[in-house]
Amino acid sequence: MANPKYSVIVPVYNRNDEVADLLASLDRQTERDFEVILVEDGSTEPCTDAVERFGGNLNLQYYHKSNEGRSIARNYGIERSHGDMLIFFDSDCVIPDNYFNKLSKNLESNPLDCFGGPDAAHESFSSVQKAINFAMTSFLTTGGIRGGKVSMEKFTPRSFNMGYTREVYNRIGGFREMFSEDIDMSMRIRNAGFQIGLIREAAVFHKRRVNFKKFLRQVYVFGMSRITLKLLYPDSLKLVHALPAVAVIAGLACVLLGIFLSPWWLLPIGLYLAAIFISALTGTRSVKIAALALPASIIQICGYGYGFLKAWFTKIVLRRGRNVQEEIEMRRGK
Tens digit of each residue's pLDDT (9 = 90 or more) over 105-120: 999 999 999 999 999 9
Q: What number of other Cβ atoms are within 10 A of residue 325's Cβ?
A: 10
- In this predicted structure, the answer to whether residue 75 has a pLDDT above a threshold of 60 is yes
pLDDT of residue 208: 78
Radius of gyration of the chain (CA): 20
User: Residue 228 and residue 226: Cα distance in Å, rounded?
Assistant: 5
User: Residue 159 and residue 180: Cα distance in Å, rounded?
Assistant: 9
- In this predicted structure, the answer to whether residue 55 has a pLDDT above a threshold of 90 is no
- In this predicted structure, the answer to whether residue 149 has a pLDDT above a threshold of 70 is no
Cβ contacts of 291 within 8 Å, gap of 6 or more: 277
Contact (CB, 8 A) for 78 and 8: no
Q: How confident is the model at residue 330 (pLDDT cuts 50, 70, 90)?
A: very low
Pick the range with the lowest mean pLDDT from 148-162, 203-217, 261-275: 148-162
pLDDT of residue 210: 76
pTM, two decimals, is 0.89
- In this predicted structure, the answer to whether residue 323 has a pLDDT above a threshold of 70 is no
For residues 117-136, average pLDDT: 93
217-247 per-position pLDDT tens digit: 999 999 999 999 998 898 888 888 999 999 9
- In this predicted structure, the answer to whether residue 333 has a pLDDT above a threshold of 50 is no
Residue 100 φ then ψ, to 5°: -70, -30
Average model confidence (pLDDT) across the chain = 91
- In this predicted structure, the answer to whether residue 4 has a pLDDT above a threshold of 80 is yes
pLDDT of residue 204: 96
Task: Quote the distance between the C-alpha of residue 109 and its chain's center.
Answer: 26
Is 154 or 22 the better-scoring residue by pLDDT? 22
